[in-house]
Copies of this chain bind each other. A is one copy, B any other.
Amino acid sequence: MLVEKNPSLAGKSFSIPVVTQALTHGLHLAGKMFLNPGEALLLPDLFWGNYRLLFEVGLEADLHTFNTFRDGGLDLEAFQSALASIPGEKITVLLNFPNNPTGYSPTPEEADQMLAILKAEADRRHVVAFIDDAYFGFVYEDGVYRESLFAKLVDAHENLLAVKLDGPTKEDYVWGWRVGFMTLGIRGGDRPLYESMEAKLGGAIRGSISNVTALGQNLLLQAFQDARYEAEKKRNYAVLKERYQRVRDLLAEHPEYSEAFEALPFNAGYFMCLRVKGTTSEQVRQILLRDYSCGVIAMGNDLLRIAYSSVSADKIETLFANLHAAVKKATST
């Protein structure tokens, strides 16, 4: 399935996917294996909050961030200069596309630029790239890179270890099943190398949770082998894409929204972010909850994460009308 989903992986060498207790556990294990306490972890400044708990609190990594967006796309200059500014013989980066919280996935050009930046970095020191593919496959626009960055990084450089974390939780809508996968790749990696990593990983799993739920694994295997699987997956994708398109259309139909908020770049995933104007996102969040029974996540000073993926298409108009009204209420008080 890995190669079906990422055709450019064909013929490349990487480890077998090792089963983890869903993607979060894979991230934790990746951190345990490749990130020593005090070592730097670089990621975009818009990131999933649990990364802080996983890597900073849980593993005592030294988190660094770079500015995520510039001019409607990724701020890869910021990525590059952040890399340059962090000392050490080894650097670990964490890349998550489609991204939580922004719902952004890179263009093919941006993906190539990231590859070039990381290859150049690997010329001067060890690079580890954690690739969080939680929202893999949810791309709604043309001109967006559709494979995992793992496919590009897996054979990029002898000094660049690519660690792919993925899972069916979001891809296959099986929340709570708790199954995920970790796959490793490095240019020049051979079976003995991957076998030793797989064994090490197996030991880390045995020594922390014994093993991963048999219920989830068995159900998942049956689902993958079921004749209805592809059609059901396509049908669900169409539902999410319709919701995405509804958000896009609404933003185009309502230029007056721009007085209250602007959308950050988004083209993929489960979420999109709004930057509210003239008030704080926490203020808006509380008004939305109190007056509109509407729950969103406030981040930083002025960002809201909107989980449009879980709102039926016919209610998205109301959601955005509420958002607009709540910001106006917040700014008028």
Q: Report A's interface with B, CB cutoff 8 A.
A: 21-25, 28, 50, 53-54, 57-58, 175-178, 203-204, 206-216, 219
Q: When chains A and B are docked, how far (Å) is the Cα of A16 from the Cα of B58?
A: 23
| B177 lies within 8 A of A208 (CB) | no
Residue of A176, A203, A207, A211 with most chain B CB atoms under a 10 A cut-off? A207
Q: When chains A and B are docked, how far (Å) is the Cα of A309 from the Cα of B17?
A: 34
Q: When chains A and B are docked, how far (Å) is the Cα of A63 from the Cα of B216?
A: 34
Min CB–CB distance A36 → chain B (angstroms): 13
| B28 lies within 8 A of A209 (CB) | yes
Q: When chains A and B are docked, how far (Å) is the Cα of A224 from the Cα of B214?
A: 20
Residue of A204, A208, A211, A216 with most chain B CB atoms under a 10 A cut-off? A208
| B54 lies within 8 A of A178 (CB) | no
| B207 lies within 8 A of A57 (CB) | yes
A50 contacts which of B22, B28, B50, B206 (Cβ < 8 Å)? B206
Instruction: Point out the residues of chain B lying under 8 angstroms from A53, CB to CB.
Output: 203, 206-207
Instruction: Point out the residues of chain B lying under 8 angstroms from A207, CB to CB.
Output: 28, 50, 53-54, 57-58
Chain A interface SS verdict (over half): helix
Min CB–CB distance A165 → chain B (angstroms): 12
Taking the full assembly, how many copies of this chain does it contain? 2
Min CB–CB distance A130 → chain B (angstroms): 15
Min CB–CB distance A96 → chain B (angstroms): 15
Min CB–CB distance A126 → chain B (angstroms): 23
5 A-B pairs besides A25-B210, A213-B216 with CB distance below 8 A are A21-B21, A25-B208, A58-B204, A175-B214, A213-B215
Instruction: Point out the residues of chain B lying under 8 angstroms from A216, CB to CB.
Output: 213, 215
Min CB–CB distance A208 → chain B (angstroms): 5
Listed from nearest, the 6 A-B pairs whose CB atoms lie closest are A176-B214, A53-B207, A24-B210, A58-B207, A178-B213, A215-B215
Min CB–CB distance A199 → chain B (angstroms): 12
For A26, give the chain B residue with the smallest CB separation. B209
For A54, give the chain B residue with the smallest CB separation. B207
Instruction: Point out the residues of chain B lying under 8 angstroms from A58, CB to CB.
Output: 204, 207-208
Q: When chains A and B are docked, how far (Å) is the Cα of A178 from the Cα of B210?
A: 9
For A210, give the chain B residue with the smallest CB separation. B24
Question: Contacts A209-B28, A210-B25, A210-B50: A215 and B57 contacting too (C-beta < 8 A)?
Answer: no
Q: When chains A and B are docked, how far (Å) is the Cα of A255 from the Cα of B225?
A: 55
Question: Contacts A58-B204, A215-B216, A215-B219: A209 and B177 contacting too (C-beta < 8 A)?
Answer: no
| B212 lies within 8 A of A178 (CB) | yes
For A22, give the chain B residue with the smallest CB separation. B210
For A169, give the chain B residue with the smallest CB separation. B210
Min CB–CB distance A54 → chain B (angstroms): 5
